Amino acid sequence: MRPGALTTLKKSHIKKMFPARDKSSYKGQNGKVLIVGGSIEYYGAPMLSALGSLYSGADLVYLYVPESNFDVTRSLYPDFIVRKFPGQYLTHQGVREILEFSTKCDAILIGPGMYDREVTVRAILELIESLQIPTVLDSTAIEVLKLVKEVPLSQPIVVCPHQNEFENLTHREIKDRKNIEELIKFVRTIATEMKLNILLKSPTDIIASPSGDIALNKTGNPGLTVGGSGDVLAGVITSMIAQGCKPYEACQVAAFLVGSTGDFLYKQKDFSYSATDLALEIPFSIRQILQ
């Protein structure tokens, strides 16, 4: 693919990019995901991300959550391995242990359910600037990139904002949100300037690489506006990276997969499906794509 290429995603593209699984592999070889998130206000978001990671094929899913969320998170699914950092939200106190543990994992997601307190923003910045594994940023963690002094960072970075979050990151207003050509130009500019992989969540998702490649995803429907669907998507992106996809490919696979799952749920439930429904249905969409 030439630099700056534009592709509209199809099932055939995703099938080729989907991570292959060695039949002789053992536990942990097919992705170890670390999710850092949660706060006293929002305990559910990191769990939805974890469901997205688990049901898109990651072998092991670890969660680091505030001690105030620890019991409820640990009680949801026996499949998750849950650890805690002190207090009701992330501060500097929790960073060192998370950094040490991250060396055991293949990819990390930071942000779901985090609240934008100044101490948390500073703790996220410390994490981002110290990590050595591919890093996916969602929610509050996206805006923290504004504080990074030098790019590119040592590890690949993925952000998956909706349009309001993208404006907050860039300090630029999207004048016409329905003009796909203008959106593509805008996203490509930011991706190349900030050296990011970007998945801009829109009616047509726009995915950009640091070199300026663009992919458009047209799967999905308005039911995906339900709270928590973005957390599931972030978990799927992180899972795909952990399983061996390059970050730009992981964004394409995740966007198409989550959108296709939403389309399947629409046929069953109209727009009345939840983020949990979305996560639990992902394996069936994977089967349809890989057939």
pLDDT in the model for residue 3: 60
273-282, pLDDT tens digit by residue?
999 999 999 9
Whether residue 62 contacts residue 81, with contact meaning beta carbons closer than 8 Å, is answered with yes
146-173, pLDDT tens digit by residue?
999 888 999 999 999 998 999 889 888 8
Mean pLDDT of 22-50: 96
Mean pLDDT of 176-193: 90
Residue 78 counted as domain residue: yes
Radius of gyration of the chain from Cα atoms?
18
Residue 212 maps to which CATH number?
3.40.1190.20
- CB count in 10 Å sphere of residue 135: 25
213-250, pLDDT tens digit by residue?
999 999 999 999 999 999 999 999 999 999 999 999 99
* CA dist., res. 287 & res. 144, Å (int): 37
Residue 192 counted as domain residue: yes
For the chain, where are the E strands, in sequence order?
A: 6-8, 32-36, 60-66, 81-85, 107-110, 135-137, 157-159, 197-200, 205-208, 214-217
Residue 137 counted as domain residue: yes
The model's confidence at residue 176, banded by pLDDT at 50, 70 and 90, is: confident
Whole domain around residue 149: which residue ranges?
Answer: 6-16+27-282
Residue 81: phi and psi, rounded to 5, are: -110, 110
Residue 98 counted as domain residue: yes
Which two structure tokens, joined as six digits, stand for 13? 């593209």
| Total domain count, the chain | 1
Residue 20 in this model has a pLDDT that exceeds 60: yes
Q: Pairing between strand 205-208 and 214-217?
A: antiparallel
Residue 4 in this model has a pLDDT that exceeds 90: no
Residue 289 counted as domain residue: no
The model's confidence at residue 178, banded by pLDDT at 50, 70 and 90, is: confident
The model's confidence at residue 179, banded by pLDDT at 50, 70 and 90, is: confident
Side-chain half-sphere CA neighbours of 241 within 13 A: 25
Which two structure tokens, joined as six digits, stand for 228? 């928590």
pLDDT in the model for residue 126: 97
Residue 22 counted as domain residue: no
Residue 288 counted as domain residue: no
pLDDT in the model for residue 219: 98
Report how far Cα 249 is from the mean position of its chain's Cα atoms.
13
- The residue ranking higher by pLDDT, 291 or 95, is 95
Burial code (b: 16+ CB inside 10 Å, e: under 16) for 24-48 equals eeeeeebbbbbbbbbbeebbbbbbb
Which two structure tokens, joined as six digits, stand for 34? 């670390």
Residue 35 in this model has a pLDDT that exceeds 90: yes
Q: Which amino acid is it at 14?
A: I
Mean pLDDT of 265-288: 97
Mean pLDDT rounded to a whole number for the chain: 95
Residue 52: phi and psi, rounded to 5, are: -60, -40
pLDDT cut 70: percent of the chain above it: 99
Residue 2 in this model has a pLDDT that exceeds 80: no
63-114, pLDDT tens digit by residue?
999 999 999 999 999 999 999 999 999 999 999 999 999 999 999 999 999 9
pLDDT in the model for residue 69: 96
User: 125 — alpha (psi -120 to 50), left (phi > 0) or beta?
Assistant: alpha
Tell which residue, 210, 153, 249, 217, has the closest CA to residue 3: 210
Residue 33 counted as domain residue: yes
